[in-house]
């Protein structure tokens, strides 16, 4: 099921007398392709949940429209939209068993959709198998781990075979290992069922790893939409560049003069097609090549061995952060006892320039 958002906007009245109106979502237009998993990504308060709630019908938009396929669902109440929702806190009924929790959405089906007890239990078993909790159907939520509870919540969202699956930070309450495991599980289920899915998270790594497409939001405004790798490689502005990637992109004050990019007094890269100007320079950690006669000199702070790679931590006056993190192939070695300068060449595709005042990307050849 393709989902279309058309100029979707949500304004909340400010609280208190002088409080300003909040534009939680500002003119969001996007067509979520059928069968894909879209990650809605951005810092806390940027409008992710509000967007999700409008798609499911728990919030109505101030302006704009929502279509499921060709059907305008903007005015349709949530229970009639055919959506499955999973929240951060699993919100299970504590006095019901896992089976009863999963069949709950089926209990009030009416007319020709009405199911017998046995049909409901079969559907519950099917959904439980999908998330691999079919052994736990007779337990109460209090007898389950956090990860298992979240699987029950997912099974409950899936039991009516929704047209659209909506997940609002579903992994936030899980510990690191479970988070990883459950996220792969969600990906598998989504691939198997091909249900169009919107996955909300503030965790860029989570969004990047699970999504076919990511939507990066800031203060209610969509910044960029694309495949995770494309957005990482080719961010439209400084905000997106900084939001994606661990370790974070290294930022420097720089300037372009005569087609060369300078950081401090080092001419670090040829940048054709950019007129002379001050810029902010971002260099991804994997954009550094260790070389004795490299163009960019930094002060060595320390070397961290990470197995496959080594992380060279260094410093430079023009760096906006206290330290620069570069990830280098472990075949290289750095003499920590020698002189305290490391030199790098920079990989052009990993160097991103931004306008000093607007943060907009400045492209070069």
Chain residues binding ligand ADP by CB under 6 A are 12, 22, 24, 42, 44-50
Query: Burial code of 147-174, b = ≥16 C-beta within 10 A, e = fewer?
Result: bbbbbbbbbbbbbbebbbbbbbbbbbbb
Cis check: omega of the bond before 296, within 30 degrees of 0: no
Binding-site member from 32, 39, 49, 284 for Mg ion (CB under 5 A): 49
Which residue is nearest to Mg ion, using beta carbons? 49
Please report whether residue 50 would count as binding Mg ion according to CB under 5 A.
Answer: no
> How far, in Å, CA of 326 to CA of 285, rounded?
4
> Which of residues 48 and 325 has its CB atom nearest to ligand ADP in the complex?
48
| Residue 162 beta carbon to ligand ADP: minimum distance, rounded to whole angstroms | 21
- The upper half-sphere exposure of residue 290, i.e. CA atoms within 13 Å in the direction of its Cβ, equals 21
> Which of residues 98 and 171 has its CB atom nearest to ligand ADP in the complex?
171
Which span sits near Mg ion by CB under 5 A: 10-18, 48-56, 209-217, 290-298? 48-56
- The option from ligand ADP, Mg ion, none interacting with 24 (CB < 5 to 8 A, set by class) reads ligand ADP
| Residue 211 beta carbon to ligand ADP: minimum distance, rounded to whole angstroms | 16
> Which of residues 48 and 81 has its CB atom nearest to ligand ADP in the complex?
48
| Residue 1 beta carbon to Mg ion: minimum distance, rounded to whole angstroms | 23
| Residue 202 beta carbon to Mg ion: minimum distance, rounded to whole angstroms | 8
What is the sign, positive or negative, of the torsion defined by CA atoms of 334, 336, 337, 338? positive
Please report whether residue 314 would count as binding Mg ion according to CB under 5 A.
Answer: no
| Residue 47 beta carbon to ligand ADP: minimum distance, rounded to whole angstroms | 4
- The option from Mg ion, ligand ADP, none interacting with 142 (CB < 5 to 8 A, set by class) reads none
> Which of residues 49 and 326 has its CB atom nearest to Mg ion in the complex?
49
In sequence order, what DSSP letters do the residues of 170-192 get, joined into one string?
TTTTS-HHHHHHHHHHHHHHHHH
> Which of residues 53 and 344 has its CB atom nearest to ligand ADP in the complex?
53
> How far, in Å, CA of 199 to CA of 176, rounded?
18
Please report whether residue 190 would count as binding Mg ion according to CB under 5 A.
Answer: no
If you search the block for the tokens 């931590």, which residue do you land on?
313
- Count of Cβ atoms closer than 10 Å to residue 143 Cβ: 12
> Which of residues 217 and 362 has its CB atom nearest to Mg ion in the complex?
217
Please report whether residue 88 would count as binding Mg ion according to CB under 5 A.
Answer: no
Contacts of 62 (CB under 8 A, 6+ apart): 9, 10, 11
- The option from Mg ion, ligand ADP, none interacting with 151 (CB < 5 to 8 A, set by class) reads none
> Which of residues 22 and 96 has its CB atom nearest to ligand ADP in the complex?
22
- The upper half-sphere exposure of residue 292, i.e. CA atoms within 13 Å in the direction of its Cβ, equals 4
Integer CA distances (angstroms), 118 to 106, 114, 138, in order:
12, 12, 15
Element (H, E) at 123: helix 117-130
**What does the binding site for Mg ion look like in residue numbers (CB under 5 A)?**
49
């Amino acid at each position: 099921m393709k989902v279309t958002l058309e100029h979707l906007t949500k304004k909340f009245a400010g609280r208190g007398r002088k409080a300003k109106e909040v534009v939680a979502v500002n003119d969001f237009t996007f067509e979520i392709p059928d069968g894909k998993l879209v990650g809605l990504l951005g810092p806390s308060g940027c409008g992710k949940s509000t967007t999700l709630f409008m798609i499911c019908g728990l919030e109505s938009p101030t302006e704009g429209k929502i279509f499921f396929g060709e059907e305008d669902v903007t005015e349709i109440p949530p229970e009639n939209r055919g959506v499955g929702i999973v929240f951060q806190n699993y919100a299970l009924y504590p006095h019901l068993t896992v089976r009863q929790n999963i069949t709950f959405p089926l209990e009030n089906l009416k007319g020709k959709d009405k199911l017998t007890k046995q049909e409901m239990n079969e559907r519950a078993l099917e959904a439980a198998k999908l998330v691999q909790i079919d052994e736990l159907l007779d337990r109460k939520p209090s007898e389950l781990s956090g990860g298992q509870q979240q699987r029950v919540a997912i099974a409950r969202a899936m039991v009516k075979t929704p047209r659209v699956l909506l997940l609002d930070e579903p992994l936030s309450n899980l510990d690191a290992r479970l988070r990883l495991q459950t996220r792969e599980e969600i990906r598998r289920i989504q691939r198997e069922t091909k249900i169009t899915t919107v996955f909300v998270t503030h965790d860029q790594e989570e969004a990047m790893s699970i999504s076919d497409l990511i939507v990066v939001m800031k203060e209610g405004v969509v910044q960029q939409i694309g495949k995770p790798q494309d957005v990482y490689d080719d961010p439209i502005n400084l905000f997106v560049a900084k939001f994606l990637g661990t370790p974070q992109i290294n930022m420097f004050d720089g300037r372009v003069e005569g087609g060369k990019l300078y950081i401090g007094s080092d001419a670090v890269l040829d940048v054709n097609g950019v007129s002379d100007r001050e810029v902010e320079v971002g260099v991804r950690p994997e954009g550094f090549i260790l070389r004795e006669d490299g163009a960019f000199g930094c002060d060595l702070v320390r070397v961290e061995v990470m197995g496959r790679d080594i992380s060279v931590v260094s410093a430079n006056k023009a760096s906006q952060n206290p330290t620069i993190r570069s990830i280098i192939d472990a075949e290289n070695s750095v003499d920590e006892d020698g002189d305290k300068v490391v030199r790098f060449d920079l990989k052009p595709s990993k160097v991103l320039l931004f306008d000093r005042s607007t943060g907009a990307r400045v492209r070069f050849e």
